[in-house]
Structure 1
């Protein structure tokens, strides 16, 4: 700011509307005239504190180095990225609601009440599940033949027909169940259920016919467990 080295009154001194001549020793221009109130306003503007004030970045530009910003802005630490200035310190507050979509950079200790829902493709490896509830969907089949699909590893197949029913385990090339997958089958109707091998599939069981076990009677159940690429073991109420 230019030093105001001389204020020469014109007229009666000390009046708010008195006109002063403002001498600028650094300029060759003619002295400017201003009232005492105008001069007061000028000094007030220089020392103004930006409390509860808004700065329009449309009409104003704030310049400075990152270090100068850190020095000038107290109470928080700022990180400067290609996307702009990001607050890395300070409290995030306690929102009444909301969805956290990206928490990159947040300290783990600062994230609480993290209820989590696993999607169909997420795996909870080495995680402790407290009082988990697993609910299977029913797949009601009323025909005399059925070949399970990939979604049946998360369901219970009910077979309900008066005639005999054949459930065929498909080859891995057709339905790529993960090793360890289980298919649960219930004989709901009077028609006896036989679990048979698809092309290239090997079934082993304690049934009378090892590779084609039958459910023993109405309301019996069995589980087919995949133990290798095309190898399954059938366990349950079979004969």
Structure 2
């Protein structure tokens, strides 16, 4: 550590110097560092030890001079109070040049560059092949593209030839210096020009040919072909054929007739899409089918014309438009536009409505019969409308369930049908004040209630809570409080519904106190008192 110094202040007792405790600490720190480095206070170390690379130790006492001398290639000097150690000229540096005498140099990891002008006794001239001498090399590896080897016998080479092989995998070796003869046989002949061998082939038999070589019928074993039941010479014209089949890009021309009435006959002209159709100018009259959408066409000299099929609507006709058509419209001819256009049905004025034989006073252009029990029959100009008898009891209605009613029962709509109620029924409409409170309208409330009012229900009665709070406030009847409270499901239908009717049949053993709670918002709750 650096030496610690006592602060003596500017003048005696001016209060700016170190106090006694601080001064004692500074003195102790200074002595501790001296004792740590020079001894423990009992045996001081009046010396300095020096050790070299061989761990030999030199001890110099305090006050004893130390002499630093140079060794091989090392010089020492003291100048301006500094000891300098440097290498002298006997040391070969990376950038210096020197003459080496009687030295051994290992070239294992060194590279000698430049030109050798002479050899000394350590490296003899017979160890190198100079440009003006010959040299015998034994077990040497040679490389380089500029070396030339002459007068080397084949028996001195590892690979003294090359291997040739025919189509049957029979092989033979041709030695260097030998002559390789390439001879033709049968229809094959050979010729040599410079370093090129040319093979000529003529008069082939039982061989596959390609290219544009000309072959006459006289040179063919089979000079005709059979189509169906007909035979035709190559180069001839076939006017008719039986059992005829064409595929790919085949074509027919002339005035011949193709009969496709046979059970196996077929003519196909179906394509994946319109872009795959052939050029219409070359196939005028072709009936083609676009597989995508099953759309038929016929080719003409000016293009493909789309044909109508059962998959098309009336709008596919060129003289029909359905733009702007509405439910109930009919198509009427507009001579000025030369086409059929949509128009509202105006009806006629000749319809007379009769009631059990007596004529009504007003003729009608439109007569509507409604109801599930109405049926219409007839053909031609006479139509019969039959209306079956109406319901004779409430149970005859499809949306009424009234099984074994007794005096005092009522019908209550549960949201989808009218059902029988055996107890007095009251309805409360439930809405919300944001997400902070429920509001109620209905039985017992002359107008909309305040926030989260207490409800008073009677045993033996039925209450319909219609949840119209917006779909995000599940209304649940509970036996304990809080959003995690216990649901009370006895006599309750559709409990915790976010919309629609929650039905509560209050039995005689219903607890005196229950609670209503929005399961999504803790502040929307209240008490239900049962009496």
TM-score under structure 1 normalisation? 0.28
Point out which structure has higher relative CO (alpha carbons under 8 A, 6+ apart).
1
Greater Cα radius of gyration, structure 1 or 2: 2
